[in-house]
Amino acid sequence: MTETVLETDGLTKRFGKLTAVDDVSLSVADGEFRSVIGPNGAGKTTTFNLITGALSPSEGVVRFKGEDITNVAPHERVGRGLGRSFQITNVFGGLTVRENVRLAAQSVHSDEINPGEALFRDKNGFDEITEQTGTVLEQIGLRDRADEHAEALAYGDQRRLELGLVLATDPDLIMLDEPTAGMSSEETQATMNLIDDVLSDRSLMLIEHDIDLVMRVSDRITVLTRGEELASGTPEEIANNEDVRDAYLGGVRE
């Protein structure tokens, strides 16, 4: 019996009179690739933010690896193994590629660094962190460009770096927020290949608009509409689901 890495129970978020997320209960198994799709305003991003901790729920519970993290601060969730990538590339532009990755790696080793070292020891003097940084750079294919400033990178490479930042925090579950937004078909393919290469042994939760992509890569898909969970199932089940079709096409068949 596979373990559940993430579970939400009755997750609800209200903004004044608007209920953005309504009683969403889903569970993601360990190692699963879950995608969340839905027409505009479906509540995908809000759900995402509730899970990562950027927002706190009006009602409901979020459980990660069996533990209740509903009231845990975002940075701490990362420490427990819940990573996220950003839609609009959010790397540390003025810092080098290497430094970007190193910072991410450093954060998961924070506990091992005592206050004195934190203030005075050369940041590059921590072997484990340095090693991890090197490994991740290799994995995302940016070792050769490690000493360039992040904002000087081409868009595609910045996306890689973004993934590298997530990877370096050694997460068990990775939340990917529209990783292929604004990309051409070729770039999309390359990105998904990369995700497959480096993140495949972890659990993944993806928000995407690119349905073709989602259908191809997901183990399971959850469809949200108007804040509610409409359906969950394998890509095939979802593609054949009349309710889902209606949600997207608005009953055009009539």
Partner 1 sequence: MTDPLLSLEDVRAGYGMTEVLQGVSMDVERGSVVSLVGRNGVGKTTTLRSIVGNITPNGGSITFNGEDITTLTSETTIRRGIGFVPEERRIFPELTVRENIRMGEIGSESPDGPSVDDVLDMFENLAEREHRDGSVLSGGEQQMLAVGRALTADPDLLLLDEPTEGLAPYVVRQIEDLIRELNEQGITVLVVEQNIPVALEVSEYTYILEKGKIVHEGTAAEIQDDEDVLDRHLGVGVTD
Partner 2 sequence: MVAADFIEQLLNGLTLGMVYVLLAAGLSVIFGVMDVINFSHGELFALGAYFALSIIAPFGAGTGFWVAIVVAPVVVGLIGAAIERTTVRPLYGRDPLYHILLTFGLVLVINDAIRLIWGTQQRQLAVPEYLSQPISILGVRVSVYNYFMIVFAALLAVVTWYLLNRTKYGMIIRAGSQDREMVRNVGIDIDQYYTLVFGVGAALAAVAGIVLGGYQNVNTGMGNSVIIPAFVVVVLGGLGSFRGAVFGGLLVGIVQTLMRAYNGTVLATFGDTTLSVPNLEGLTVYLLMIAVLLVKPQGLFGTRGEESEGEGEILVGGYGGILADSTRVRLGGIAVVALALAPVAILFMGDQYYLVVLNEILIWAIFALSLDIVMGYAGLVPLGHTMFYGVGAYTAALVMLHYSQSVFVVLLGAILLCAILAWIVGSLSIRVSGVYFAMITLAFAELLYSAVFKFDFTGGSDGLLGFEAFIGLGSLGASLSNIEFGLLGYEIGQQFVFYYLALLIAVLSFLFARRMMNAPFGSVLQSIRESEERAEFIGYDVNRYKRRAFVISGGMAGLAGGLLAVSPSTVIISPDQTLNWIHSGEVIVIALFGGMGTLYGPMIGSGVFFGAEEFLSSYTDQWRLIIGTMFILFVLFVPRGIVSIPSLVAQRLETANNADGSVDMDEPEVRSDD
Which spans of this chain sit near partner 2 (rule: CB under 8 A)?
52, 73-76, 78-79, 83-84, 86, 90-95, 99, 102-104, 106-108, 110, 113, 117-123, 126, 149, 151-152, 165-166, 168-169
Residues that bind partner 1 (CB under 8 A): 37, 39-41, 88-89, 155, 158, 178, 181-185, 188, 209-212, 215, 223, 235-236, 238-241, 244-245, 248-253
For partner 1, the closer of residues 78 and 183 by Cβ is 183
List the alpha helices (DSSP H) in the chain.
44-52, 74-80, 97-108, 115-120, 127-139, 155-168, 185-199, 211-217, 235-239, 242-249
Residue 146 region by backbone torsions, left for phi larger than 0, else alpha for psi between -120 and 50, else beta: alpha
122 binds, among partner 2, partner 1, none (CB under 5 to 8 A by kind): partner 2
How far apart CA 155 and CA 24 sit, in angstroms, is 35
For partner 1, the closer of residues 31 and 41 by Cβ is 41
For partner 2, the closer of residues 155 and 248 by Cβ is 155
35 binds, among partner 2, partner 1, none (CB under 5 to 8 A by kind): none
Q: Count the neighbouring beta carbons within 10 Å of the beta carbon of residue 221.
A: 26
Give the nearest distance from C-beta 91 to partner 2 in angstroms.
7
Give the nearest distance from C-beta 170 to partner 2 in angstroms.
10
Give the nearest distance from C-beta 54 to partner 1 in angstroms.
19
242 binds, among partner 1, partner 2, none (CB under 5 to 8 A by kind): none
The amino acid occupying position 213 is L
How far apart CA 230 and CA 136 sit, in angstroms, is 38
Task: Give which of 174, 238, 232 is closest to 212, Cα–Cα.
Answer: 238
Tokens for 41?
């305003």
How far apart CA 188 and CA 208 sit, in angstroms, is 12
Q: Count the neighbouring beta carbons within 10 Å of the beta carbon of residue 114.
A: 9
For partner 1, the closer of residues 38 and 57 by Cβ is 38
Task: Give which of 91, 84, 76 is closest to 47, Cα–Cα.
Answer: 84
For partner 1, the closer of residues 141 and 235 by Cβ is 235
Give the nearest distance from C-beta 214 to partner 1 in angstroms.
8
243 binds, among partner 1, partner 2, none (CB under 5 to 8 A by kind): none
